[in-house]
A = this chain, B = another copy of it.
């Protein structure tokens, strides 16, 4: 692990990259302890604050964890699916809110991914997951539910559908898509949407999953996508008229 003093990039960024490479390449393995900050400072010929900045960069990516005390130090962290979820959701949310992504594009991606899970979910969903979906549908039908609560329940419903595929890798990959895009979609369409319509489609999906009828789940998700995109068009149209 070496750094280049001639490199114009920050020393702390270079050091972080060097350690990151060592982790990705397997040179440093999970739970292995890194040298102490002072030792790293000596190795890289920099000061301790610079080393610390590098370590904080890595900590922000969940690549290391630190512990104080006599036997403490920085340890290579085993990235958990939960760590990865939350990072993905943050990144996806900002990516969508900061870039001019059309509603159609986001919507298309979200449903394409969700439908990829649906077939597996139809085979494997547990009674528990189905019960979760029914419960969320029930919640969605409550009068006086705020838009935020309806949106959260919507996310929970789709999350249960995705988890029904019983594939943590798939769930992880979709976490960003569903959890980041759903609020965005709700924000755009909540003024126009009909809760009854959505609840009816959710019920149809739950019924199809209960019957383990994959084609029907797929068809209903397409219906839901079509409905959502139509809503967005209506909202855009109305906005155009008033302006």
- The stretch from A138-146, A172-180, A206-214, A227-235 touching chain B is A172-180
- The stretch from A51-59, A125-133, A147-155, A196-204 touching chain B is A51-59
In the complex the two chains form, is A91's CB within 8 Å of B108's CB?
no
Identify whether the interface residues of A are mostly helix, strand, loop, or mixed.
helix
A23 within 8 A of B: yes
Which residues of B sit under 8 angstroms from A97, Cβ to Cβ? 26
Which residues of B sit under 8 angstroms from A105, Cβ to Cβ? 167-169
Could you write out 29 A-B pairs with CB less than 8 Å apart?
Answer: A24-B94, A53-B53, A56-B60, A58-B60, A61-B87, A61-B91, A78-B98, A79-B91, A79-B99, A80-B99, A81-B99, A84-B92, A88-B88, A88-B91, A105-B167, A105-B168, A108-B167, A108-B169, A109-B167, A110-B169, A112-B165, A112-B167, A112-B170, A113-B116, A113-B173, A169-B177, A173-B173, A173-B176, A173-B177
Range, interface on chain A: 35 or more
Which residues of B sit under 8 angstroms from A80, Cβ to Cβ? 99
Which residues of B sit under 8 angstroms from A87, Cβ to Cβ? 61, 87, 91
**Considering the chains assembled together, what is the distance between the CA atoms of A169 and B102 in angstroms?**
10
Which residues of B sit under 8 angstroms from A81, Cβ to Cβ? 95, 99
Which residues of B sit under 8 angstroms from A26, Cβ to Cβ? 97
A220 within 8 A of B: no
0 or 1 for each of A74-90: is its CB under 8 Å from B? (1 = yes): 00001111001001101
Known A60-B60, A79-B98; judge A170-B109 contact (CB<8 A). Answer: yes
> Which positions 99-137 of chain A face chain B at CB distance < 8 Å?
99, 101, 105-106, 108-110, 112-113, 115-117, 119-120
